[in-house]
Amino acid sequence: MFHLAPAELDALLLSLRIALKSVLFSLPVAILVAWWVTRGRGLIRFLLDAFVHLPLVLPPVAVGYVLLIVFGVRGPLGRWLYEQFGVRLVFSASGAALATAVMTFPLFVRAIRISLEGVDRGLEDAARTLGAGPWDRFFNVTLPLMLPGILAGAVTAFAAGLGEFGAVITFVSNIPGETRTLPLALYTALQSPDGDAMAARLATMSFVLGLGGLVIAELIARNVRKTLGRV
Amino acid sequence: MFEKRWDASDPMFEIQSRLRRDDFDLNVEIRAPSTGVLALFGRSGSGKTTLVQVVAGLLKSEQSKIVIDGSVLEDTQRRQFVPPEHRRIGYVFQDARLFPHLSVAGNLQFGMRRSRATPPANLWDQVLELLGLQNLLNRRVQQLSGGERQRVALGRALLMQPRLLIMDEPLASIDAARRNEVLPYLERLRDEFALPIVYVSHDFDEVLRLADHVVLLDQGKVLAQGDIGSMSLEPQLRQIVGSDAVGAVLNGEVESVSSDGLAVVRVGRAHLSVNKPQVQTGTRVRVQLLARDLILAVEPPRGLSVRNVIEGRVIDVSRDDDETDLVRVDIGNAAVMARVTRAASLELKLSPGLPIWVLVKAVSMRAHTFAASDSSKK
């Protein structure tokens, strides 16, 4: 009934892998940035906040282009990565994960930020009087209390990452088995004269995955909120 | 005259802080013995919580000096500031602030695990027993009642082995009916742990029951400070608690208990009959004589149903309001305060040094027991 061609299955698995990688890599950075944007003050905080939200308002192609310039083999960071570690991001699955991470970053940070704003500073004060230093407080009080937002943010970022198109195709092109994720495969199918059935299947898959991701994110948030409760 | 004197070698508590906020200025200087319970008393908004946050190190003052028993916690002049996590000050917040992601046991262990001192072997059991927490250990904090929460918060603070315990209105978030569930625990804590306590309250009854030393705060300033006995006679107190609630607080000892529920309490050289059943001979008690309940006579009275007649001398007479005066009377090692009408005051020619008889109805006294020897409570 719903039979996937090998190419379609490849695209699906690749999408899942790239989205997962992007979430795992951006997780610590997103927490750090959310912390800074919430608790920091002054101009740096303001600029960082604006910068983080840029991918929301820029054309994805422009983001891909900037990545190409910075992380291309001749770009400042790209060259360094290639010469020092032999890592090439352009035209690779890792590069796709990077582009996905950048595009989903605002969503991720926003979710974490909301949960951090909800953390009662009074509990951190209480931990302080009980002898907990800054790192101790962060890892044993603040972070556990932020968990609902972090999990929900991660699932949302994952679901959104499955569908990232513009930045990915610009930065890492459309290589079957390497960077051809679901949306890229869908685009390719639409370009070919007999790809209608394939396109329909891929679109359905994207739809189901996206919806599933959102539902799971909400369920996690709700569940953790319930167990943590408000005291 | 009856104020306790202490010398420099006694354990002392010294707080000095000046702090300016948008809508509030705190400017206090407090010296008090660091034994027993120091009550910070005042209306809400008088700066009590701000002050204890300064003591705990959670708020920084523009100018401050805080010394407990010779160890300096902060001194802006010498640029010293011990961060809160190193102060070893247990803090029981008004809203308990239990960690919602931890169980009751996890909350209790939080400070204990981080304490550098090795706890005495029986501390855990002792605290659990004192606060009745044994059956709550595996509960989630969301399942606790208000009173239970405060008891857990108190246990959490005690288990970190603090050098000082701050309690910021621990009863304020509990409904009135449940307060009496917690108050006895606080009294036991005071009596069984040799731990200096700073107790914040806007409820004079709590202060009466618990405090040894009282600091009266108003609009960020200290109106008066002293031991509970002298503070209970402080005219400034009337502005805060109202003239119906003022009256001498006397420390005494139960000399005998009669079968009809009257206990004879010795206060200084006077004896008072107090309507306080279930108290044992030898128990130290605290008695409050409300100024409005005292009657003064310039001659020894005869043929009255009043049980208590105390002989004394007038210390001074001060205006209470347009129609009444407050009269302080020395009854030997202690003093009481009576409220009389201006007309009576003039007619009796009340003046310092005048011999006088103070009449108190037994039922009008409120006695609070406060000795470790009192074992009648569970």
Of A94-108, B166-180, B351-365, the range with the highest mean pLDDT is A94-108
Does B376 score more than 90 pLDDT?
no
For residues B248 and B262, give the distance between their C-alpha atoms in angstroms, rounded to a whole number: 20
Alpha helices by DSSP H, listed for chain B, are 48-56, 104-114, 123-131, 146-159, 176-192, 204-210, 228-231, 235-241, 342-347
Q: Give the SS3 label for residue B119.
A: coil
Amino acid at the residue B61: S
Angstrom distance (rounded) from CA B147 to CA B156: 14
What is the rounded CA–CA span in Å between residue B301 and residue B288?
Answer: 23
Q: What is the CA radius of gyration of chain A?
A: 20
Q: What is the pLDDT of residues A120-150, one digit of tens each?
A: 999 999 999 999 999 999 999 999 999 888 9
What pLDDT is attached to residue B302? 83
| Position B322 confidence tier, pLDDT thresholds 50, 70, 90 | confident
Task: Compute the distance between CA of residue B348 and CA of residue B366 in angstroms, rounded to an integer.
Answer: 28
Quick one: CATH architecture of B12-231?
A: 3-Layer(aba) Sandwich (3.40)
Domain ranges of chain B: 12-231, 247-369
Indicate the pLDDT class of residue A227, thresholds 50, 70 and 90.
low
Chain B residue with the nearest C-alpha to that of A148: B101
Residue type for A210, please? G
The torsion defined by the Cα of A24, A28, A31 and A34, in degrees rounded to 10, comes to -100
Is B119's Cβ below 8 Å from some Cβ in A?
no
Q: Which amino acid is at B77?
A: Q
Residue whose pair of structure tokens reads 């039922």 in the numeric block: B363
Range of lowest pLDDT (A102-106, A224-228, B40-44, B92-96): A224-228
Query: Which among B165, B180, B231 has a CA at the least distance from the CA of B204?
Result: B231
Determine the residue of chain B that is closest to A125 in CA distance: B58
Mean pLDDT of the region B47-53? 95
Cβ contact, residue pair B87, A141, below 8 Å: no
pLDDT band at A35 (very low <50, low <70, confident <90, very high): very high
Residue B3 confidence (pLDDT): 45
Check: CB of residue B16 under 8 Å from CB of residue B64: yes
Average confidence (pLDDT) over B192-200 = 90
The reply to whether ipTM tops 0.90 is no
Say yes or no: domain A13-228 is CATH 1.10.3720.10. yes
Q: Does B173 touch chain A (CB under 8 A)?
A: no
Q: Among the listed ranges A60-74, B250-264, B319-333, which one has the minimum average pLDDT value?
A: B250-264
Interface touch B100/A229, C-beta < 8 Å? yes
What does the pLDDT look like over B180-189, one tens digit per residue? Answer: 778 888 888 8
User: CB A228 to CB B97 under 8 A?
Assistant: no
Share of chain B above pLDDT 90, in %: 47
Contacts of B156 in chain A (CB under 8 A): 130
Look at residue B1 in the predicted model and tell me its pLDDT: 40
- ∠ CA B357-B358-B363, rounded to 5°: 145
**Would you give the distance in Å from CA B262 to the centre of its chain?**
25
Task: Identify which has the larger pLDDT, B107 or B34.
Answer: B107
Write the class of the CATH domain B247-369.
Answer: mainly beta
Mean pLDDT of B15-36: 91
- Look at residue A109 and tell me whether its pLDDT is greater than 90: yes
Kindly tell me if the per-residue pLDDT of B378 is higher than 60. no
pLDDT of residue B286: 83
User: Which residues, numbered 148 to 177 in chain A, qualify as contacts with chain B under a Cβ-Cβ cut-off of 8 Å?
Assistant: none
Confidence of residue B235 (pLDDT cuts 50, 70, 90): confident
Q: What 8-state DSSP symbol labels residue B47?
A: S
* A154-201 pLDDT, tens digit each: 999 999 999 899 999 999 999 998 999 999 999 999 999 988 999 999
Please report the number of interchain residue pairs, chain A to chain B, with beta-carbon separation below 8 angstroms. 67
Core vs surface per residue B107-120: b (16+ CB within 10 A) or e: bbbbbbebbeeeee
Show the tokens assigned to B336: 């009481």
Q: Which of A127, A125, A121, A117 is nearest to A148 (CA)?
A: A117
The pLDDT of residue B372 is 35
The CA distance from B30 to B42, in Å, is 15
Q: Return residues 124-143 of B near A (CB < 8 Å).
A: 140-142
For tokens 């790809």, name the residue.
Answer: A195
Nearest of B89, B98, B97, B85 to residue B52 by alpha carbon = B89
Closest CA to B362 of B228, B234, B233, B257: B257
pLDDT score of A2: 64
Residues in A closer than 8 angstroms to B115, CB to CB, are: 131
pLDDT beyond 80 at A81 = yes
Taking the CA of residue A109 and the nearest CA in chain B, the distance in Å comes to 22
Model confidence over B267-293: pLDDT tens digits? 877 888 887 767 788 888 888 888 888
User: Which residue would you say has higher pLDDT here, B331 or B373?
Assistant: B331
Nearest one of B162, B152, B45, B160 to B105, comparing CA atoms? B152
Q: Which pLDDT value is given to residue A228?
A: 65
Beta pairing class for B335-341 and B324-330: antiparallel
Per residue in B116-132, pLDDT (tens digit) is 878 788 899 999 998 99
> Is pLDDT above 80 for B5?
no
Mean pLDDT value of segment A65-87 = 90
What chain B residue is nearest to A226 in terms of C-alpha separation? B142
Mean pLDDT over residues B301-322, rounded?
85
From the list A131, A144, A231, which residue is nearest B85 (CB)?
A: A131
Nearest-CA neighbor of B114 among B161, B148, B69, B180?
A: B161
Nearest residue of chain B to residue A136 (CA atoms): B114
pLDDT in tens, B238-272: 888 887 888 888 888 888 888 777 888 888 778 88
A9 by Cβ neighbours in 10 Å (0-12 / 13-18 / 19+) ranks as exposed
Distance, in Å, from the CA atom of B145 to the CA atom of A37, rounded to the nearest integer, reads 36
pLDDT attached to residue B368:
65
Q: How far apart are CA A146 and CA A109, in angstroms?
A: 12
pLDDT in the model for residue B371: 45
Q: What are phi and psi of B26, to 5 degrees?
A: -110, 130
Tell me the whole-structure pTM to 2 decimals: 0.83
Structure tokens at A198: 């394939």
